[in-house]
Chains A and B, each alone.
Chain A
């Protein structure tokens, strides 16, 4: 028994922070007994279906929708011409350079299409079925234009143009030079004097966020007010942007994100269909709904990654790094969406990783192609940077004949050096790379696996073993508003919260950080339970409706707990401060003599005299007896804007078996130790790490969006866009070290993206480590068995994959090559 318990006579409540609470939202999310946008049914609601371009680049020469207009159940059919005057441009909020070229992004194409799947007409009908049936009755003529797909060709002089009104396919040229910024030395000098320079070209393939719940939008007009429900990560940002695009005054537009089934950055967007729903609801004065199919989602929701990285590293013979130079080509796709140009630019600051580079230069060209735009995808810029630095460190180790961990150790920031300002100008907050690494090596069983690797090499085993390392850090907790401003980002990064104390002592927490599956309701309840000393079950978390939670900047960039959770804690502090005055009044004591613990104010030195904060809530609701000169309320709100990012770090280790006969790679063991600062809920953290690892491993081994030579998305279904399941992934051995983040009251650093950022290079490094003695120095992601086999037996990096879709399924291929609807196939019939 502690002294405190002795004094009060009741056991102190268990701390909620650190408890592996099961998520309170899961029962309804998993059983589907909740409101998803597509569940929403309104009286008189009409349904939309989008007619999409089947070609990647063309002028629209004729649009005939007359047959569709006559179809049963069809109320209206709109083309780009119908909205040409009022649709404006979808917003791009991140002009990374002052002279960035933005061609504008219509929600519906008017006279030119620039990627397959772009909207060209909209059917509005009384049922979803009627709308879909009428899509096939539209007749649109296209005059084909040359298709621009390859970035390296697109930036050549005289290349075909995506937007022929522009001078080139380059949107911007962004440079960060440490020498010029005063955060490092001269890069050219560093390279010219170096003993060793290693240069590599890495390809970050295009990925599809592939969130579980497809996008869905409902808009209800009521007089001059509009309510939009959307499966979005960012209802607050969407409201501001949609108001600006459509001219609907912001105070006349309410945006609601009900429960949202995942996003991974894919729903950090202002989508064409969201704007189109608003425009059509305004024109018809009727509620409308659009819900995408999975095919539409893969084809038209924004993609991620898609960069070519040219990386040079300079070092001396002893393995001290001297300089880093990065040149990127970043595929924007056909248009700039919300933060398209900013994703590679955000990564610029992470290429130096955890290492003490004296010199660094980063350049990036944003390039237009005839593909769907890229934008945020879990990690957004930082996975690409981490991959590049962790891959090139291995290459440098090979060049120097040095153990890759030894090379890292020689160059990383020592625990005693924190806070440490890097060559990219970031002030890393806290951490200890050595301790995390030691723990990870033990979790993996590093020495035994190295011994087995040696045995397999000596016996020339057809299955070779490799170990890959990724010692990573990332910048997250996307906030500092001033810093985001200095990066030309269009918004701040603060977060807002308010706490409402209800008469019965229950607590409503309003958060501006809108969840889409992360478990905010559980974690915020734990924070508030500890702060206010109320039961976990007595806390309800409200979110996602701009009328309920008017201020917020939503969920992305591993920011929710770090920024949004901190706002909740700050609001709770204000509630306690306000309650303290009431308590002092009711207990007839001085505020200074009050202790607040376990939810109760007690008077120091007066055992038994106390009042709980829940009792105060009732007292102030009645408001019969409260001090003069204050308002009768203990509700409070707070806005939190940290002064720095937070910097989770960790060591990820992957042991990989490579079957040299077939090229099949199999993860034998995966161990990681992450430092994400204070852990509020270990179960949620474990889930985030597992999910992140799955997505990072998926980039390394499985996922790739492939376009054919005409710009059709070959990987248009989950038959060809390969998302791994639990059956394909190994057991994960995870651990944590805890160095609290100094920049927020919780001490949390953010965990949402860590696994995804760290794992990809560990996996690729492991595969290369297994076969490097066979002459392999690179294999392109994803490491398909075919690529691995070719790299081993034919040299090179495994090369391009065939662009044709799988022959399985009898129909998953593009329509032109599918066998199902042919005469021959109809003979078989039985399926």
Chain B
């Protein structure tokens, strides 16, 4: 279908992009890879006045080593993420989850930053960012600020990125110690969104689980940390029974939606099964 008419800006620098955002009128949308925005515009479910296309903005694409963190540019495509050596070394969870995003064509256009700022509750990367304690670098007219993942996802399709602001990069801290990671995604066909998914990041020490961070995908309007599971796992023996008992608490405090893929109670059940599987795999069980 054909989108409603809109103005289009294609800046080449971050400053130009911020100017375009400021000048774009009441309803201005930033387009990164366009893999979510263009379909909803074509369905006329979104009709922005102005679209600011970031595809030509320099310096937003790529991954660099920044000492205690790796820094992923917001316009780094999913496909770039999948082949990046720094991500493979320090945050393989990101690559694992990215490999489940949509299909090859979408991964060549869709971007890491775009998927995070879109904040689709069924998207895979927000829960991963949450589990990895990523930090979001946001620029706006009044300068640059850094938002921790725990404060970044505000509501359904809503993040801490304000009007007139841009996400420019995401810092993912390097992890010290013996860490294992796993993304367990549950969907019905290969290219579909997650019905529920679980991102587990687990540190083992002397046969015990020293620390676990569990991100839940699609268990509410925003990605969530399964805090009850994390607490139960902290210091627990790395055994199937202990993991199973902790995972049984995965749905605590969640308010998932009911739709044709899953009603809420079934989503809550899936969260416990997938958490058990993800933690078990991350803990090397």
- Note whether A and B form a binding pair: yes
Of listed A136, A724, A821, residue having the most chain B CB within 10 A: A821
Q: Given A725-B189, A785-B188, is A824 in contact with B158 using a C-beta cutoff of 8 Å?
A: yes
**Closest A residue to B196 using CB positions:** A662
Chain A residues positioned under 8 Å from B162 (CB to CB)? 827
Of listed A717, A784, A806, A824, residue having the most chain B CB within 10 A: A806
Cβ < 8 Å to B, chain A residues 102-118: none
Assess the A808–B120 pair: CB atoms within 8 A.
Answer: yes
Q: Given A724-B189, A815-B45, A831-B117, is A806 in contact with B260 using a C-beta cutoff of 8 Å?
A: yes
Assess the B273–A828 pair: CB atoms within 8 A.
Answer: no
Q: Given A720-B260, A807-B121, is A728 in contact with B31 using a C-beta cutoff of 8 Å?
A: no
Instruction: Give a binary string over B120-163; 1 marks a CB under 8 Å from any A CB, 0 the rest.
Output: 11110000000000000000000000000000001111110111
A34 interfacial contact with B, CB 8 Å:
no
Bound: A506/B117 CA distance, A: 62
Bound: A129/B43 CA distance, A: 13
Name the one of A722, A790, A824, A829 contacting B192, with C-beta atoms under 8 angstroms: A722
Bound: A129/B257 CA distance, A: 36
A42 interfacial contact with B, CB 8 Å:
no
A88 interfacial contact with B, CB 8 Å:
no
Cβ < 8 Å to A, chain B residues 42-73: 43-48, 54
Bound: A828/B28 CA distance, A: 10
Name the one of A133, A804, A818 contacting B45, with C-beta atoms under 8 angstroms: A818
A803 interfacial contact with B, CB 8 Å:
yes
**Closest A residue to B276 using CB positions:** A661
* A: number of interface residues (CB 8 Å): 53
Bound: A784/B195 CA distance, A: 12
Assess the A805–B260 pair: CB atoms within 8 A.
Answer: yes
Assess the A790–B266 pair: CB atoms within 8 A.
Answer: yes
Assess the A714–B39 pair: CB atoms within 8 A.
Answer: no
Name the one of B32, B163, B194, B270 contacting A831, with C-beta atoms under 8 angstroms: B32
Q: Given A662-B270, A820-B45, A820-B46, is A831 in contact with B37 using a C-beta cutoff of 8 Å?
A: yes
Chain B contact surface mostly: loop
**Closest A residue to B4 using CB positions:** A133
B40 interfacial contact with A, CB 8 Å:
yes
Chain B residues positioned under 8 Å from A132 (CB to CB)? 1-2
CB distance from B40 to the nearest CB of A (A): 4
B30 interfacial contact with A, CB 8 Å:
yes
A612 interfacial contact with B, CB 8 Å:
no
A715 interfacial contact with B, CB 8 Å:
yes
B186 interfacial contact with A, CB 8 Å:
yes
A826 interfacial contact with B, CB 8 Å:
yes
Assess the A830–B260 pair: CB atoms within 8 A.
Answer: no
**Closest A residue to B263 using CB positions:** A802
Bound: A789/B270 CA distance, A: 10
Assess the B47–A821 pair: CB atoms within 8 A.
Answer: yes
Q: Given A784-B261, A806-B261, is A831 in contact with B273 using a C-beta cutoff of 8 Å?
A: no
B113 interfacial contact with A, CB 8 Å:
yes
Contact residues on B (Cβ < 8 Å of other chain), bracket? 35 or more
Cβ < 8 Å to A, chain B residues 178-204: 186, 188-195
Assess the B156–A826 pair: CB atoms within 8 A.
Answer: no
A504 interfacial contact with B, CB 8 Å:
no
Chain A residues positioned under 8 Å from B273 (CB to CB)? 661-662
Cβ < 8 Å to B, chain A residues 724-754: 724-725, 727-728
Cβ < 8 Å to A, chain B residues 227-272: 257-263, 266, 269-270
Bound: A811/B44 CA distance, A: 9
Instruction: Give a binary string over A654-686; 1 marks a CB under 8 Å from any B CB, 0 the rest.
Output: 000000011010000000000000000000000
Number of inter-chain CB pairs below 8 Å: 166
Bound: A722/B192 CA distance, A: 9
Bound: A810/B29 CA distance, A: 14
Bound: A830/B117 CA distance, A: 5
Bound: A675/B273 CA distance, A: 44
Instruction: Give a binary string over A679-720; 1 marks a CB under 8 Å from any B CB, 0 the rest.
Output: 000000000000000000000001000100000001101011
Bound: A820/B48 CA distance, A: 11
Q: Given A819-B156, A825-B156, is A806 in contact with B259 using a C-beta cutoff of 8 Å?
A: yes
B90 interfacial contact with A, CB 8 Å:
no
Assess the A810–B157 pair: CB atoms within 8 A.
Answer: yes
Assess the B257–A828 pair: CB atoms within 8 A.
Answer: no
**Closest A residue to B274 using CB positions:** A662
Assess the B156–A809 pair: CB atoms within 8 A.
Answer: no
CB distance from A196 to the nearest CB of B (A): 36
**Closest A residue to B262 using CB positions:** A786
Chain A residues positioned under 8 Å from B27 (CB to CB)? 826
Bound: A31/B45 CA distance, A: 32
Q: Given A662-B273, A789-B269, A810-B157, is A802 in contact with B4 using a C-beta cutoff of 8 Å?
A: no
Chain A contact surface mostly: loop
Assess the B29–A826 pair: CB atoms within 8 A.
Answer: yes
CB distance from B13 to the nearest CB of A (A): 17
Bound: A825/B194 CA distance, A: 20
Name the one of B5, B113, B114, B157 contacting A819, with C-beta atoms under 8 angstroms: B157
Chain B residues positioned under 8 Å from A222 (CB to CB)? none
Assess the B45–A829 pair: CB atoms within 8 A.
Answer: no
CB distance from A126 to the nearest CB of B (A): 14
Assess the B259–A802 pair: CB atoms within 8 A.
Answer: yes
CB distance from B75 to the nearest CB of A (A): 10
**Closest A residue to B123 using CB positions:** A808
Name the one of B4, B122, B154, B266 contacting A806, with C-beta atoms under 8 angstroms: B122
Bound: A339/B243 CA distance, A: 58
A624 interfacial contact with B, CB 8 Å:
no
Bound: A295/B188 CA distance, A: 21
**Closest B residue to A803 using CB positions:** B260
Assess the A807–B29 pair: CB atoms within 8 A.
Answer: no
Instruction: Give a binary string over A793-819; 1 marks a CB under 8 Å from any B CB, 0 the rest.
Output: 000000001111111111110010011
**Closest B residue to A292 using CB positions:** B1
Name the one of B40, B161, B261, B269 contacting A830, with C-beta atoms under 8 angstroms: B161
A435 interfacial contact with B, CB 8 Å:
no
CB distance from A545 to the nearest CB of B (A): 30
Chain A residues positioned under 8 Å from B163 (CB to CB)? 827, 829
A454 interfacial contact with B, CB 8 Å:
no
Assess the A809–B119 pair: CB atoms within 8 A.
Answer: no
Chain B residues positioned under 8 Å from A727 (CB to CB)? 189-191
CB distance from A658 to the nearest CB of B (A): 14
Chain A residues positioned under 8 Å from B121 (CB to CB)? 807-808
B170 interfacial contact with A, CB 8 Å:
no
Name the one of B37, B118, B189 contacting A702, with C-beta atoms under 8 angstroms: B189
**Closest B residue to A131 using CB positions:** B2
B167 interfacial contact with A, CB 8 Å:
yes
A8 interfacial contact with B, CB 8 Å:
no
CB distance from B118 to the nearest CB of A (A): 5
Chain B residues positioned under 8 Å from A702 (CB to CB)? 188-189
Assess the A829–B117 pair: CB atoms within 8 A.
Answer: yes
Chain B residues positioned under 8 Å from A482 (CB to CB)? none
Cβ < 8 Å to B, chain A residues 280-294: 293-294
Bound: A239/B186 CA distance, A: 49
Bound: A807/B193 CA distance, A: 9
Assess the B118–A824 pair: CB atoms within 8 A.
Answer: no
Chain A residues positioned under 8 Å from B76 (CB to CB)? none
B92 interfacial contact with A, CB 8 Å:
no
Assess the B257–A706 pair: CB atoms within 8 A.
Answer: no
Bound: A802/B257 CA distance, A: 10
Assess the A810–B120 pair: CB atoms within 8 A.
Answer: yes
Chain A residues positioned under 8 Å from B87 (CB to CB)? none
A662-B273, A810-B120, A811-B39 given; 13 more Cβ-contact pairs under 8 Å: A133-B4, A784-B261, A785-B195, A801-B260, A809-B40, A809-B120, A810-B118, A820-B40, A824-B158, A825-B158, A827-B163, A828-B158, A831-B36
The 9 closest A-B pairs by CB, nearest first: A808-B122, A808-B193, A830-B117, A831-B37, A811-B40, A727-B190, A811-B45, A830-B30, A825-B157
Residues of chain A whose beta carbon lies under 8 Å from any beta carbon of chain B? 128-129, 132-133, 136, 293-295, 661-662, 664, 702, 706, 714-715, 717, 719-720, 722, 724-725, 727-728, 784-786, 789-790, 801-812, 815, 818-821, 824-831
**Can you list 7 residue pairs at the A/B interface with Cβ under 8 Å?**
A662-B270, A802-B258, A807-B122, A810-B120, A815-B45, A826-B48, A831-B35
